[in-house]
Amino acid sequence: MPHTTRYPSPSSASTGRSHHSSSSTSYHYSPVQQTVTINRPNVPDFRFCMELGLVLRSRTLDHKESAGLEKELSRTLTKQNIPNSVITSPLKQTSSSSSYAVQVLDSPSSREWTITTEASIPDHAKDHRFGIKLVSPFMRFTATKHESWLKKIYTLFHVLEANFEVTSSHQCFTHIHIVPERGYWTYGQLECLAKSALYFESCLDELVPPYRRKSVWAKSNRYNAYFGSAKSMRQCFDKFDKGGKLDINGLAMRMNWCSANSATGLSLSEDGQDFMTDTYRWSFKGLVAQGGDGCGTVAFKQPPGSTSAEDAVGWVMLVGCFARLACVLGETIRPEDKPLIKSLGEWLVYEASWCQLPRVKILKDLLRQAMPEMREVAGGSKGKGKDVEAITIDEDLRLKAKQGERELVGEKYLRMLKHIH
């Protein structure tokens, strides 16, 4: 991955895939002329599932409750031959009969869109606007076939825009869940992705609005309860092997470890102890939920609400290309060097071009809008990347409400595994 202040653009070489069809591609960069080799057979393809948190209002009906809007949305999608279902109650099952088998049988299909309410997004019933979550089917992000997932996203937004007013608020989101195409991760892939997420966190921050850099729903992995005490990225990387080699559960918990004394901890910690939560930029909690044996998804949860197909497609491209590169080149990162959004962006576009992704301009436009974070203290960066010190009563209530929700992506993931194995 790019990690030097004098990194020449990959575009200095031809970006045509025909020049890079061999099993590996080498890149040379100054100042030490180190060679980074991408062993193409080791670059994983991915499956992904997208959660869209949006504020919707019908263009024809004045709904007084979100249930009516959800039903209209479902009918509208069905008329356009878009498979979907409505989850009327996103709350977890609490009865003694809610076994693993029951949850799988009652879970939404991995091949259709799922519509449900979203507790983190405030409703505006007087204006007939409601927070809605759309959970996509699992789709494939590969180096060759892209038409299917692109068509599904564009078709969805065409229907949304024609029949509903689609808006976003500070609480809206675009979550991209990923897992290697075979359905599970290796430890090496996860460690490379985790290190890349920490190293490039400040770069990815530049791609989102300021309110998503300090969101209680997408807290900093770099400054969480485990890595926050590290004074350098080198110390962060060293923490992965502290006390011996980690297992997948241990890695996931370190990436999503929350202090009981933080704003989120004061809201959610029941016993005053530090704990794991999925409200981080990169959520690894899905791995623990599936047993820690490599099954489950990792989610990038920092992007704002997507109000157009281009918005959603841009984030899918970014996360897909980032994951492909990170899982192979994450181990080559030199933590002493400064990460640069320009270099990262060049590599992402290069990978998108190598994969022959159509509409790469969407990714380029997303990268072009990068806004450096303003320094909070003149002459320094104190507080940069760190989370809010307090949250509102409303956010506190919504955090608590989210804890009682079903993990719909996790349920879809289990259904997907039945189809691919």
Nearest alpha-carbon partner for 255 in 210, 301, 214: 301
Query: What's this model's pTM, rounded to 2 decimal places?
Result: 0.89
> 26 pLDDT band (50/70/90 cuts)?
very low
Look at 144 and 174; give whichever has higher pLDDT: 174
Question: What average pLDDT does range 159-181 have in this prediction?
Answer: 98
Nearest alpha-carbon partner for 349 in 330, 335, 365, 333: 365
Residue-wise pLDDT tens digits, 210-249: 999 999 999 999 999 999 999 999 999 999 877 667 899 9
Tokens linked to 17: 């895939």
| 409, containing H or E segment | helix 408-420
Q: Are 46 and 149 in contact (CB under 8 A)?
A: no
Percentage with pLDDT > 70 across the chain: 83
Half-sphere exposure of 224 (CA within 13 A, CB side): 29
Query: d(Cα 82, Cα 156) in Å, to the nearest integer?
Result: 8
Tokens linked to 279: 């409200």
Between helices 187-199 and 309-329, what is the axis angle to 10°? 120
- Residue 374: per-residue pLDDT: 58
Residue-wise pLDDT tens digits, 91-149: 765 444 443 333 444 689 999 999 999 999 999 999 999 999 999 999 999 988 777 99
Residue-wise pLDDT tens digits, 291-301: 889 999 999 99
Contacts of 378 (CB under 8 A, 6+ apart): none
- Residue 208: per-residue pLDDT: 97
- Residue 393: per-residue pLDDT: 94
Pairing of strands 275-276, 257-258: antiparallel
Lowest mean pLDDT among 68-82, 219-233, 327-341, 366-380: 366-380
Q: Are 362 and 310 in contact (CB under 8 A)?
A: yes
